[in-house]
């Protein structure tokens, strides 16, 4: 089938790829209609690796997708032929200790699309377990369905923050995941969210949502602004979504005593921590790795009008121009949040 293949670093080709997938009783075959480009895809494209996951042979990219069910196994009951679905891209082992403990995202044996050596979904069709496929409500497009994967990360961040109604929050980083986290904590009950970044264009997009206050840290000190806005107390919740080591450890000072910090952004290397500050102020830290049981919540919030993801789709390319789409996404245009590929 036709697929977007990363042959090696900085070399993409749209070509026929010899891939056959057998349909099991709990599986569905999906005609892919939309797929977003994630930061991890760009890492593999430009660098060929993320941590221990190293590209060794040609791999199909893409893991943020939605499509139409065209075939289903004999035991599938949750979706029907013709349904538009979005797909959770990571499949854990059924009886791993992590699954049995309710944290399937931490299963070290998870099979995750577009993570070497697993092929992704930027191709004409995919076979996927039906329990990890979610019907997209009427009125939402395939492109919006494909946005549920990054939104699921924001939902997971909000879950780990344990929001109380009226909390204030600071999100560091106004990229896709930072904005998704912002929208998620607002939907979860925060009264106001400050979003910090060094790119004015990204901040302008974030600030287009109600109850979002942008802070350009290239022109004003973050801590000074937060203390001014919170009468010297700090915010209840901080979500670090930039993945930049340069923000450590100072941003912790923006949390009020007893505040909560959720670390979302991932990076290479180590960063300094002021442990005494964390202890003396009673700041709790949570980390997230992907998500658990978040897709249904994401779809419900978007369908109910609580979260608008459509405006974050900055540019859409047809499948035939998928290579150009990756080149465009990799260029890092500051006004771009999500680049989408249309396969319909």
pLDDT of residue 200: 97
**pLDDT tens digits, one per residue of 186-206:** 999 999 999 999 999 999 999
Mean pLDDT estimate for the chain: 96
Residue 51: pLDDT band with limits 50, 70, 90: confident
pLDDT of residue 269: 81
N-to-C CA span, the chain: 15
Provide the 10 A C-beta neighbour count for residue 76.
21
What percent of the chain has a predicted confidence (pLDDT) above 70? 100
pLDDT of residue 253: 97
pTM of the model: 0.95
Cα 307 to Cα 232, 262, 297: the distances in Å are 31, 21, 11
From 39-53, 141-155, 207-221, the region with the lowest mean pLDDT? 39-53
Provide the 10 A C-beta neighbour count for residue 311.
12
pLDDT of residue 225: 98
Provide the 10 A C-beta neighbour count for residue 46.
11
Say whether pLDDT at 268 is over 80.
no
CA 221 to chain centre: 28
Answer yes or no: are the C-beta atoms of 115 and 53 closer than 8 Å.
yes
The pair of three-digit structure tokens given for residue 311, joined into one six-digit string:
């405006």
Walk me through the domains of the chain, giving residue ranges and CATH numbers. Answer: 2-147+309-342 (3.90.180.10), 155-287 (3.40.50.720)
């Amino acid at each position: 089938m036709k697929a977007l293949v990363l042959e090696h670093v900085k070399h993409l080709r749209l070509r026929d790829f010899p891939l056959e997938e057998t349909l099991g009783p709990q599986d569905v075959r999906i005609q892919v209609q939309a797929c977003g480009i994630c930061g991890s895809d760009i890492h593999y494209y430009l660098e060929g690796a993320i941590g221990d996951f190293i590209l060794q042979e040609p791999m199909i990219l893409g893991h943020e997708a939605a499509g139409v069910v065209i075939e289903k196994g004999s035991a599938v009951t949750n979706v029907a032929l013709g349904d538009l679905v979005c797909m959770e891209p990571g499949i854990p082992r059924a009886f791993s200790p992590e699954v049995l403990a309710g944290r399937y995202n931490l299963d070290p044996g998870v099979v995750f699309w577009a993570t070497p050596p697993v092929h992704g979904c930027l191709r004409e069709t995919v076979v996927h377990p039906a329990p990890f496929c979610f019907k997209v409500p009427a009125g939402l497009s395939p492109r919006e369905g494909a946005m549920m994967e990054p939104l699921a990360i924001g939902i997971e961040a909000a879950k780990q923050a344990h929001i109380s109604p009226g909390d204030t929050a600071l999100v560091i980083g106004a990229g896709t995941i930072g904005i998704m986290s912002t929208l998620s904590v607002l939907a979860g009950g925060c009264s106001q969210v400050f979003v910090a970044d060094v790119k004015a264009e990204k901040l302008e997009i974030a600030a287009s949502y109600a109850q979002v206050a942008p802070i350009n840290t290239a022109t004003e000190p973050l801590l000074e602004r937060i203390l001014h806005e919170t009468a010297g107390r700090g915010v209840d919740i901080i979500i670090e979504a930039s993945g930049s080591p340069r923000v450590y450890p100072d941003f912790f000072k923006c949390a009020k005593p007893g505040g909560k910090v959720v670390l979302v952004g991932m990076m290479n290397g180590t960063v300094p921590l002021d442990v005494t500050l964390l202890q003396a102020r009673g700041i709790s830290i949570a980390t997230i790795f992907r998500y658990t049981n978040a897709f249904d919540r994401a779809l419900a919030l978007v369908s109910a009008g609580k979260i608008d993801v459509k405006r974050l789709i900055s540019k859409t390319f047809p499948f035939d121009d998928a290579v150009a789409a990756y080149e465009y996404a990799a260029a890092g245009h500051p006004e771009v949040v999500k680049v989408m590929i249309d396969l319909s």
